[in-house]
Amino acid sequence: MTSNHPATAPTTTTAIPRVGSSASHGKTILIGEHAVVYGAPALVLPVTDVRVTATATPLSSGAEHTLESTVHTGPFGLAPAAVLPTVTAVTATLRHLADRGHPHAVDTGFHVRVDSQVPTARGMGSSAAVAAAVTAAVADAFGVALDGATHHDLIQVCERVAHGRPSGLDARGVVADEPVWFEADVIEPVQLSGRFVFVVADTGVPGHTREAVAAVRARHDRAPAMVDTVVQRIGELARTARGTLVDGDAQALGVTMDAAHELLTTLDVSSGDLDRLVGAARHADALGAKLTGGGRGGCVLALAADDEHATRIADTLRGAGATATWTTSIGARA
């Protein structure tokens, strides 16, 4: 994980950079997708078992930066638009370091390698997770541990390249160890009692977040009272879910997840693939299951009673067509 401690300066601002490294992870939305756009709260769940690692190896002075990833391997100058957020992660971090007295940040080229387990376009925060790992790895090459606020700001610079006007929800989730409460200007970790085990299942179909958001907006224009009511109910579920995490009540959390999926279905942001996997998870006695993220593709989130139950749910989901599953947990181990 990247550090959330205050930035530490190198022993000298003229220190020669070394190989830097860092890691981050995926995230899902536990409760609150779409409603958060209209001011309702959301709970963001870190998926710490689905990781991104990045290394930044200094090259000779004046050398062009190069990238090694599944999307592009080669010089930055030939990088496709899909990796511009990653390119920005390097250049923005170097600019930040140069502004703070690291002269080698101006002329040192880097070979940046990214190894990501977070699937793209699945609502798991892929672009933010890559940005989190790369920015911290470049800073680490100069002996600098980014403080939480600076790290967030740099991730958001990259997210604006990727998404235009990011909420900051992904940027918080991919560096958190515990669930994050997100409401207006209030962002805070959620205290947990007990341990919660989740299975994330990929439909294999890219999510269509912009399309889904636009559809909800159009529905709001046509029937504002109906959408406002659904938004309010999702917000209430988010508050209830937060209480279940604090109380350690997995059964009650599952009920809120099921209810959230039904509300999202009324907003027409689910899909046949998502509903099929939700049904399969419930058939495997999941405590709760719902789509997670923008919808119309992407992933399903299911809550298990324990690790053995999670294995059974994952097997059932793959049998129902999930192209990949991941099991992750939050809270103290029993």
Q: Where are the beta strands (DSSP E) in 72-164?
A: 73-75, 108-116
Active site (annotated) includes residue 170: yes
Task: Give the C-alpha separation, 261 to 279, whole Å.
Answer: 11
Tokens of 40: 């309702």
Q: 10 Å Cβ neighbour count for 53?
A: 16
Decide if 40 contacts 240 (C-beta within 8 A). no
What six digits make up the tokens of 316? 């059932």
49, 115, 140, 170: which one is catalytic? 170
CB–CB of 23/201 below 8 Å?
no
Give ∠ CA 85-88-91 in degrees, rounded to 5. 165
Q: How far apart are the first and last CA of the chain?
A: 23
Report residue 320 CA to chain centroid gap: 25
Catalytically active residues, by annotation? 170
